[in-house]
Amino acid sequence: MYNFNIPESKKIRVILDTDLKNEVDDQFAMVHAILTQSFELKGIIPAHFGEEKSAASQQDSYKEGIRILEKMGMTGKVRLENGAKKAMPDEKTPMDSPGARLIIEEAMREDKRPLYIGALGTLTDIASAILLKPEICGQNVTVVWIGGGDYPAGGWEYNLKNDVCAANVLFKSDMNVWQIPRNVYRMMPVTFAELYDKVRPYGEIGKYLAENVVEFNNAWESRPAEFRILGDSPSIGVMMFPDCGKWSYVPAPEFDGNMHYVLNGLHRPVRVYESIDSRFILEDFYAKIKDFAF
């Protein structure tokens, strides 16, 4: 690893809640988080991603987390705690899980350093933690969510679709939220050539990440021919550098049955990103995976 030192007092606590096996971008964010020295990674929660692609999507995510750690030679060195197996049935019923309990445990810990929860998919586990222990909303915790449609209208968006009830629980709560909506997380395109030049040469994990993208895109006629959007990586960027993009505060919306925003002004403000610095994020990732391989 690079031989610079970061004092423990300057590190932020981080939990990733991620639907790892849904597509092929969560894996990049997971590896980036593990390699970021300013993060004290408290755990990764493999999350469900509905039942359309798999009847056991949460377990698929867990197995992918194990695979990533194996390819990094880090088996047993990062805490994995299973998230809920499915979405909340309504806005009052939590889906208890080891992942939700990890969030509560870390949020209530006596530690002056902030806790960031990178939500790279459904919000089931975070919303369940809030319902199980409402006091976590009063702690020094920020949820960074990759999800939701374009402002101001909103509408269908994959991460939101997998648990609209959970999104309403979070956005109606007093939890600090930074939202990176669809039009912004799509500002992270990379070409196959770039991945084969900057990622694939660097260890078993680099080879897997790059080849997995190409294999995934080639298996779907609707996927682009020669590029991929690493839509979960902005979460890592803004946790490292909160001004890694333009943002503004808006009163937290609610979500209706069609996933449109209900901008009623009833809730506390949330930070909504309007742009992202892809150069900052990608160049940092490329440098870290290269260094890790050597």
Query: Which string of DSSP letters, residue by residue, matches 271-292?
Result: EEES---HHHHHHHHHHHHHHH
Neighbours of 44 (CB within 10 A): 30
Q: Quote the pLDDT of residue 3.
A: 75
Structure tokens at 254: 């609610």
Closest CA to 244 of 233, 255, 260, 252: 233
Query: How many Å apart are CA 42 and CA 151, to the nearest integer?
Result: 32
What is d(CA 83, CA 47) in angstroms, rounded to the nearest whole number?
5
Per residue in 5-28, pLDDT (tens digit) is 999 999 999 999 999 999 999 999
The low-confidence residues of the chain, meaning pLDDT below 50, are none
CA gap 139, 147 in Å, rounded = 23
Torsion angles phi and psi, residue 160, rounded to 5: -65, -40
Neighbours of 191 (CB within 10 A): 12
Q: How high is the pLDDT of residue 4? A: 85
Give 146-173 pLDDT, tens digit per residue. Answer: 999 999 999 999 999 999 999 999 999 9
* Residue 212: predicted pLDDT: 97
What six digits make up the tokens of 235?
A: 């979460």
Q: Residue 64's pLDDT is what?
A: 98
Q: Identify the residue whose tokens are 């994990």.
A: 205
pTM of the complete model: 0.97
Question: Given this model, what pLDDT does residue 84 score?
Answer: 98
Q: What is the pLDDT of residue 294?
A: 87
Q: Which CATH number fits domain 8-186+232-293: 3.40.50.410, 3.90.245.10, 3.30.428.10, 3.30.450.40?
A: 3.90.245.10
What residue segments make up the domains of the chain, in order of their start? 8-186+232-293
pLDDT reported for residue 1: 66
